[in-house]
Every structure is written in structure tokens, then in C-alpha cells.
Structure 1
Amino acid sequence: MTPSFDAADAFGALTTTESLTDAQIEERAQALLDQLTLEEKIGLMDGDPPFWPGLAEMFAGGYNKHTWVAGAVPRLGIPGVRFSDGPRGVVMPGATTFPVSMARGASWDPALEERIGDAIGRELRALGGNHFGGVCINVVRHPAWGRAQETYGEDSHHLGAFGAALTRGVQGHVMACAKHYALNSMENARFTVDVSIDPRALHEVYLPHFKRAVDAGVASVMSAYNSVNGEWCGQNKTLLHDILKEQWGFQGFVLTDFVWGMRDAKKAALAGQDLEMPFQNLFHRHLKGLVERGEVPLARIDDAALRLLRQQVRFAQGRNPSDYPSDVVGCEAHRQLAREAAQKSIVLLKNEGNLLPLTNVQRVAVIGKLADMPNTGDQGSSNTLPAYVITPLQGLRNALGDGATVVYDDGSDPARAAAAAAATDVAICVVGYTSADEGEYVAPDTMAQLATLFPPPSPEEAPIAQALMQAPPSSEEVGFGVGGDRSSLTLHADDEALIQAVAAANAHTIVAIMAGSAVITEAWREQVAAILMLWYPGMEGGTAFTDVLLGRVNPSGKLPCTFPKHAEDLPFFDKHATAITYDLWHGYRKLERDGAQPAFPFGFGLSYTTYAYGNLQLAQDRLGADDTLEARIDVTNTGKVEGSEVVQLYIAAQGSKVERAPKELKAFARVRLSPGETRTARLAVPVSDLAYYDASAGWSVEPIAYEVIIARHALDSQAHRARFTIMG
């Protein structure tokens, strides 16, 4: 029997419309803690479902059907953590499906992301949840990572801005969870790989975005499956206690990633792990004995329990359950928000001869199987269940109506598709990947490899356990995807052949790519007139695609990850590695250091209008370590249609005593402009953001010269520059 909740249940008897002070929240949480027995405190620290029935139900498709409850104490009205996943929307039936996070990262619009978070939080509360597991902010170290679609891009500053924005939006209503902490940038090997990293790379590249989420007040942080410097993240004291809780002062709770997220109850508890999800397992079996034997202090149990209670009390107050009616789930306003997000996420990569926007076309060929199939992304833990999905073909047909003829070919026969294209004014090839190519991955032998973590089944559970261990469900049956990490960064060979055949038949060929991160386009890029990056665009993606094609919306998306020309220009990546080293170098930082030209640089994206920058000014050119750099620049729309430009501020350190990237993104702003309009973009960078991390001394701001680079993208040859100095 699966649990069913509504908004009134989300925070149980803790719910109050009264707004409490921090002191009152702490007092209430402590009062609840004082009433709990040791068994109840430990019960807060793991999922409520028994392991084997829970696992069977999850494998039968339950993951995306209801919330997963941990630590409910009915006698005191404590609701427990009621988790549902993301990040492209609440994963329960009927909720709005937004574009994937990578697409939203391409909007460069944190204010939009906060509005999306608000919608997600409202829907989850209406569905009876109180904890959203979808603030995924892992760095895309390499675009082959199968779950790159679930995060926002390759740059830590950009990631942090979006993670903080989603956190703020969601937490208007429910608890948010930032994940996967830390260095979780591989999929196939996530249960086995040990990532080695030095302190500087860890603190400068792989942790700052998590710190931004903590500073935004995130309620919880999910530890990753992988190992870091020889210890599993779920029981890694350096990460969980020393950095997260001590250095950063995190007051929320830590939870494991699901099922296989920690290996040892004692190590995990002492390292700062607070909640084992989503079943009764290691903590349930071992913690009480560990406490009774003095191996885990009672104070550690009290700390974990108080952290869990504190956040439940914090989010139960100041909100009215009547504000979360069931009809908010998948409502029209949220579907329109999904459409807006898709519009802003589409990146125009090429537009030869200004083929786009389309005007006065009478016959349009739409080619490729992805044009006519719902393709919202991974089918694993992030899979959503929307009421409908508008495909590119459907969106175009809806928009053109009887005004033009739309000819569709699935592209299975390139010669036939080329013939169809030759007879039309314009040909649109929709190509790319699906969840079969990239996404969450649980190998068939995972159950057997990690069986020692599982509890012995009771006699009643034995048939369930035997069935799961002897014949674990296939990935398709489990719903946790078959994609994993990509095997190649190019399109499938048949897609490339299709593009080449269609382009040879029609000079007005447009390629629309669906994928979760960068795609290498060298085999066909020069043969087509226009290229659009759609990502996985959500339930309204086909409508948004058509809005951009027809010029109803001016594209404003910018790449949140570098599109390389050659895979060899990227960091080493072995999706089956059991050990790997992460360093300072990936993405635009690495390519520019190495002198490797990308196909499309980080931050790149074309528009249907043109912009001119001018009059760069710094408020001051000599600053102290505690000051804030303030820059302003005028941006003018010099074209004929309204548009939004993303102004990007990079900093280059000059004469540093440590190796640094040629430039690093430190601020950005979207500026909306009517034709002929000029506005001043103002950008601020705390000088502390220019520090490097020293393993002995910590953060250090060098008293040297720096250069401000304000640009359209990371390799903008027309960038505006100004120098300033940090005084010692």
C-alpha cells in the first residue's frame, strides 16, 4: 500500500500559520527532541519503509509515484521528511515538467529559476511532500557525464547562482536538498570510483556552489555515492563535518543518496551523516547498539535528530496549508512558466544568411524521430509524469495551422527524407539523444556487488529478497534508465548521415539538437544553415521551439558549457574508472589555457538582433580585500527587434604566484532591450571572490593587478577591458 498525502499532511501537527523567530524554532525543535526516546531519535535518522518491501516497491515503479517518508513520529505529530525528487519538476504524477536544469542554466536567468523553484515548491506541498531533492549542482567536468542534464553547467559561479535561486524559490514552501555532495561527475562508476583531489581544486572548483546553497539557507545536503580521497562521501568526515558543518556553519541536515549511499553505520554517524534514505537499514540495525556500547556518543544522535526537527519546524511555520490546493499541480500558470523557461533556454548556435526567424514559408519538412516523440530527459530518478508533452512537430503544426504545409519524415531512410526536404522551402532536422543514450544508470550487477549492505530478510521477506537478488529487474523495468555516461560526444552516425543527406538536398536546413550537454558537430556543422540547441525542453518544449523558429520570441540562451571541436581537448574521462583525479582544469578554463579552440565557446549564443557595448567604468580601480568591485557598462540594442542580452564579467589575475585560469566568470546580468534602447548593466564582485585557496593558509586574496573583461562569451574578441589593483 503506497502512502498518499495532501498539503494538510506535509508538516503534520507542526503546521502553523504563525511566523516564528529563529529562537522560537529552536525552542520548539528542542522541546520535541526532549520528548523522544532513544529508539524514536534513531528512527528520525532513517527511512520509514522496511528495506525489502520498500526496495521491491521502488523497483516496481514507486519511486516517482509518491513521497518517501523518513522519521515520522505520529504520537507527537512529527511528519518526518517527505521526499520527492527533481530537478525538472516534482517527479510525481501530473506535476509540471520544466526544461532540464542544463537548459535552464542556458537562460542565464536566476530570477526565472527562482520562479521555477516557487512553482515546484507549491506543487510538492500540494502533493503532500515537504522535501524537494532536486537542487542538483554538480560540476559538468566532462560532457559525457550521463546526468549532466540534471545540473546547470561547467562553471562554479554560474552553478552557484542557479542553485541558490532554486533553493530560495522552493523554500518559500518546502525544504530543499542540494546534491550530490561532492565530486559526483560520473555516472556508471558512481558506486565504485574514488576521486582524488587536492585542497585547492576541491575548494575553488568543486565546492563553492554548495557553499552558495548553504549561504542561501538550504535545509539539507545529500551526500554522493562516490568516494573522495579514499572515503565514501556518505561517511566522509572531511566533507560532512569539517567543511560543511564546521567551516560553513551548516545548520541543516545531511542525508544519504538512496539505498547505497553509505557503507558503515558507525563511520557515517561519526562523520556527520544524519539521515539514511530511504529505508530502514544500517542505522536502523546498528545505531542503538553503537550508542549503548559508547562507540557513537548520544550527543551525535541528539545533534542529528535536532537538525532534522529544526528544519521541519522551520518550514512548518508561517505558511497556510489552504494556499496549496490540489489544482495548483500542473496548473496553467506553471505550464506557461515551463514554456517561458524553454523559450529562454534555446541557444541559437548558427544562423547563416539570417535564415531564422522563418518568414513566408509555404512548405516545411520536419525530419527525425525525435521531432515526433516526447523527449523530456532521463527516465531514472528525475523522470517526471506530466499530463502531456508538446513535441517539436506538434508545436509547429499547432502554430502554422493551415497557413503552411508541414511534411513529416521520421528520417529512417535518409534518401526518402532528402527527397521530402528537396520539395520544401525549409527543412528542420530534429536529432540528438534520449534516455537510452544518457541518464541515470544502475548496472545489473549492482545488487550483487553491494549485497553485504542489505539487512537479512525476515521469513516473510525472504521470497521478496530472493526474487530481487536472483533476478534483479532490468534497467527498463526499474525505471532507472539505460543511458549512463555517453560513449561518444558526436551524434549517432545515422543522425549525422541524415543531416548530411538533407542538407545536400536543401540549402535551408536547420538542425535542432536535443541533448543534456555538449555535442560535437564537426562532421556536419558547416553544411547546414542554422543550428539550435534545444536540450530536453520540457512539456512545453515544442511550443517554445516554434516560438523561436517563427520569431515570436527572440532567442537569448547562452551556452552554460563549452561545445568542443574535439573530444581530445577535454579532460580524461573513463566511465568505468575505479580511480580518477580531478584538478583545476576543465571546460573553458582548460581549453583557453591549452589554446584549443572550441566549436562554440562558453557563454555563446546568437540573437535575431544585435547589441553594442560601450562606456565601461569601474567605481574604483584600487580596492582592499574587504571591498566590492563595481563595474558598469552601457548595452544598446542596435537591431530591429526586442531582445535580451547576457552581459558576462570575467576576471583575469595578472602576475599571480599560483597557476590560474586565463579568466574566470565572476558575475553576469540579463538586460532586456527594445530596438534602439540603451541600458546600463551594473555588476558587482566581492574582492573575496578573487581569492585562491592555499592548503595551509586557506583563502588568500593576492595584492596584485587584475583585469575586468566584460564580454558576450568567454572568447569574445570585442570584449571591453579595464584594470584594477588589490592593495596589500
Structure 2
Amino acid sequence: LLKNDGAALPLAGVKSLAVLGMLATKGNIGDNGSSKVTPPYTVSILQGIKKLASGVKVSFCGGVPARSKMLAKNSDAAVVVVGLGAKDENEGNDRDNLTLRPADIELIKLAAAENKRTIVALIGGSAITMDGWLDQVSAVLMAWYPGMEGGNAVARALFGQVNPSGRLPIVFPKSEDQLFKFENKELKVKYDHYHGYRWFDDKGLEPLFPFGHGLSYTTFEYGPPKLDATEFGAGGKLAATVEVKNTGAVAGETVVFLFVGAKNPPVKRPKKDLRAFARVALQPGESKSVRLEVDAQELARFCMMKMDWVLDPGDYVALTGPSADPATLQEAGFSVK
């Protein structure tokens, strides 16, 4: 769940629902190359919604502007299902850009102009930029390629039978300008060795959604990291404990990430590296201590001159929180001797 303004989700109290976009009718499970699978059946998002929407009038349009506009205007909420498929990204074909098709963007804008409670369900295998429409919709759910039961899974999230708890395994940029230039047709290209959140940290860029981002239908409070020891040797271990509390009204799950950065490294290193993470399930008002451990040797860097791993002695910082966003992280210092 990437965005959820005004508690647009879950779809509580909805009596009529417009479902827009042809992808809502497709069992869209991804590539047709070597990763292709042939399941015994697939459940589309529209099928999943209709199965769960008891007492809700569900109206569908594949994207015809006039009818889509009418359905969005006359419904309590609108779900726009757009994104990518095997023809857009596959084993032998990369995407030319990270945006949606112009027709998909226009469908989103059309629905959002008519219905303040417009939710976008995105299908795709990687980052999708949202410039020009994100601020017009209430909620965005990234469904990826959800598999044979994907329609039921998405519907359960939309109607609150499941509290979303997924976290982004990549960074979603605001625009392609934040990334290194992609040379789709070149046979040989040299890129910087920083990618993902490390690239954004190094360049001082703020992404659209950071690595680890993901919303819930509840809220969580994260305490600072408490370290077992603030000094240890090469055979030691970094152990951090983080207190997490569910401060909302429904049960939910969250993820605590542990990043580590070297304060004054002898060579250039990323500002932080992911070293551990843990998922925790909490009832409303419940608190739990989450323990994260990292062997000291996992903090080593590979030295090209020695062709071996080297653990640099010195000062480090442990950063914990719900994502790679610096604003969400709390830190504690330690030293390796």
C-alpha cells in the first residue's frame, strides 16, 4: 500500500463501486519467457472484487471515456486497474520508460476528477513513476504480478479482510531524471556501483517512495535501537533491540530494518547498508521487542587490492526504522576494534 489519504481504504461503507481498466479482467501473472507458468486457473481483480463485494453494486468499464466518467461520478468509490504486462516487460524486452501508458494516465485523471475516493491498483514488475496523477488520487496499491489467486488477494486488501503489510524491495523514483541514464540499445555500458537506496543516499535525492516503504490500516511507533554492546572486535556481533507498538485500532504487521554505516571509512562506502530486518505482528495497543543481530564480519568490505574481505576498525552507526527514508530512522553508535 503506497498511498492512503483520508482512509480511502479499506472500502468500508461503500454501496456502489466503479471498477475501471481492462487489466481488471485479466489474469495478469507476468512474463511469457523462461519464467512463464501455466496455472490451472487465474482470478482477475474484477472477479475477486465481485466475489467479496456483498451488498455492493459493482460496475465495470474497460476504459471507454464517457462510460468510465459516468460510472466514477455515480459510485461511492472507483478502483482503476492499470499497469503492465508481458508485452511491456519480459525476458527479451526492457521498458522504454517507467511511466504508465498515456491512456492509463488519462483514465486515472478522468476517474479522479469525478470521484474523490479513487484508488489505483498498479500491476507491474518494477518501479512505476506517477508524475501528473499521484496527487489526484486517494490511494495507490502496488499489486505487482499477483499470481493465480491475485484477484482474490487484491480484493481482500481493498475490503480490509487483510491488512496490507508488504514493503517495497526497491526504490520508486519521482522521475527518470533521478536515475542514471538507461542505454537500452547499447551493447556495453558502464554504470556507477551504487544502485537503489544507496544511489539515492549518495546523490542526496528524495525518492517518490523509499526502499522499505509500505502503509498499513493501522499505525506503529518505533523506539530507538538499544545495543547489547557499543564496542566489539572482529569476532563479535552487533545486536540491536527495537521496541515497536501498534498505536492504531486494528491488528497489523510491520517490518523493522537495520542499516549500518561507517562514520569515517578509509575508502568511499555507501552511507548505509541493509544488514538485517524482521517482521512483527501486533494487536492494537500491543508492544513487542524486536531483536536484530549482525556478525561483525558482515560489516566487511571487499578490497580489490587484497582481493579479500576487510573489516575496517573504527566508528559505525546502527540505524533502525520502518524504511530507508532517513527521516524515519533512529540511530545508535558503536565501534569495531
Same fold per superposition (TM over 0.5): yes
Amino acid in the other structure paired with 2:168: L
Deviations 1:490-543 (A, max 9, x none): 000110011011100111100000000100001100000000000000011110
After TM superposition, the runs of 4+ consecutive aligned structure 1 residues lying more than 4 A away are none
Distance 2:314 2:69 in 1: 59
SS at match of 1:648: strand
Contact kept? 1:705, 1:726, Cα under 8 Å: yes
Contact kept? 1:514, 1:535, Cα under 8 Å: yes
Q: Determine the structure 2 residue equivalent to 1:418.
A: 69
Q: Deviation of residue 628 (structure 1)?
A: 1.3
Deviations 1:545-600 (A, max 9, x none): 11111111100001001000111211232121111124321111111211111110
Closer/same/farther in 2, CA of residues 615 and 714 from structure 1, 3 Å limit? closer
Task: List aligned pairs for 1:685-724, cutoff 5 A.
Answer: 685-697=294-306, 698-724=308-334
1:649 has 2:258 as partner: yes
Q: Deviation of residue 690 (structure 1)?
A: 1.1
Distance 1:400 1:711 in 2: 36
1:556 has 2:165 as partner: yes
Q: Deviation of residue 415 (structure 1)?
A: 3.1
Q: Deviation of residue 703 (structure 1)?
A: 0.7
Q: Determine the structure 2 residue equivalent to 1:432.
A: 83
Amino acid in the other structure paired with 1:350: K
Q: Deviation of residue 627 (structure 1)?
A: 1.2
SS at match of 2:47: helix
Which residue of 380, 393, 399 maps to 2:46?
393
Amino acid in the other structure paired with 2:68: A
Which residue of 24, 34, 37 maps to 1:381?
34
Amino acid in the other structure paired with 2:312: E
Deviations 1:66-106 (A, max 9, x none): xxxxxxxxxxxxxxxxxxxxxxxxxxxxxxxxxxxxxxxxx
Distance 2:97 2:253 in 1: 34
569-578 vs 639-648, which moves further: 569-578
Distance 2:173 2:224 in 1: 32
Deviations 1:627-681 (A, max 9, x none): 1111111111111111111000011110111111111111000001111111110
SS at match of 1:428: strand
Distance 1:367 1:375 in 2: 16
Distance 2:19 2:288 in 1: 39
SS at match of 2:319: strand
SS at match of 1:436: coil
CA radius of gyration, larger in? 1
Q: Deviation of residue 615 (structure 1)?
A: 5.1
SS at match of 2:327: coil
Amino acid in the other structure paired with 1:410: G
Task: List aligned pairs for 1:335-484, cutoff 5 A.
Answer: 348-401=1-54, 403-411=55-63, 413-441=64-92, 484=93
Query: Which of the two has greater strand per residue?
Result: 2
1:726 has 2:333 as partner: no
Closer/same/farther in 2, CA of residues 507 and 706 from structure 1, 3 Å limit? same
Amino acid in the other structure paired with 2:123: M
Distance 1:360 1:676 in 2: 25
Q: Deviation of residue 718 (structure 1)?
A: 3.5
Distance 1:704 1:507 in 2: 53
Contact kept? 1:571, 1:585, Cα under 8 Å: no
Deviations 1:311-366 (A, max 9, x none): xxxxxxxxxxxxxxxxxxxxxxxxxxxxxxxxxxxxx1110101111111110000
Q: Determine the structure 2 residue equivalent to 1:514.
A: 123
Distance 2:27 2:153 in 1: 14
1:598 has 2:207 as partner: yes
Distance 1:583 1:529 in 2: 36
Q: Determine the structure 2 residue equivalent to 1:527.
A: 136
The number of residues matched between the two structures is 336
Contact kept? 2:244, 2:289, Cα under 8 Å: yes
Task: List aligned pairs for 1:144-155, cutoff 5 A.
Answer: none
Contact kept? 2:260, 2:275, Cα under 8 Å: yes
Task: List aligned pairs for 1:602-617, cutoff 5 A.
Answer: 602-614=211-223, 616-617=225-226
CA RMSD of aligned residues (A): 1.0
Contact kept? 2:224, 2:320, Cα under 8 Å: no
1:500 has 2:152 as partner: no
Q: Determine the structure 1 residue equivalent to 2:234.
A: 625
Distance 1:695 1:595 in 2: 27
Contact kept? 1:414, 1:502, Cα under 8 Å: no
TM-score, reference length from structure 2: 0.98
Deviations 1:7-33 (A, max 9, x none): xxxxxxxxxxxxxxxxxxxxxxxxxxx
Q: Deviation of residue 716 (structure 1)?
A: 4.3
Closer/same/farther in 2, CA of residues 561 and 615 from structure 1, 3 Å limit? closer
Distance 2:174 2:115 in 1: 25
Q: Determine the structure 2 residue equivalent to 1:684.
A: 293
Contact kept? 1:570, 1:587, Cα under 8 Å: no
Q: Deviation of residue 416 (structure 1)?
A: 2.3
Distance 1:526 1:533 in 2: 16
SS at match of 1:585: coil
Contact kept? 2:225, 2:319, Cα under 8 Å: no
SS at match of 2:201: helix
Amino acid in the other structure paired with 1:436: K
SS at match of 2:53: helix
Deviations 1:454-495 (A, max 9, x none): xxxxxxxxxxxxxxxxxxxxxxxxxxxxxx100110000110
SS at match of 2:223: strand
Amino acid in the other structure paired with 1:432: G
Amino acid in the other structure paired with 2:261: A
Unaligned runs of 5+ in 1: 1-347, 442-483
Identity of matched residues, %: 43
Q: Deviation of residue 438 (structure 1)?
A: 0.2
Q: Deviation of residue 374 (structure 1)?
A: 1.1
SS at match of 2:177: helix
Distance 1:438 1:580 in 2: 20
Contact kept? 1:588, 1:714, Cα under 8 Å: yes
Task: List aligned pairs for 1:108-127, cutoff 5 A.
Answer: none
Task: List aligned pairs for 1:200-219, cutoff 5 A.
Answer: none
Q: Deviation of residue 691 (structure 1)?
A: 1.1
Task: List aligned pairs for 1:19-98, cutoff 5 A.
Answer: none
Query: Which of the two has greater helix per residue?
Result: 1
Q: Deviation of residue 684 (structure 1)?
A: 0.6
Contact kept? 2:82, 2:121, Cα under 8 Å: yes
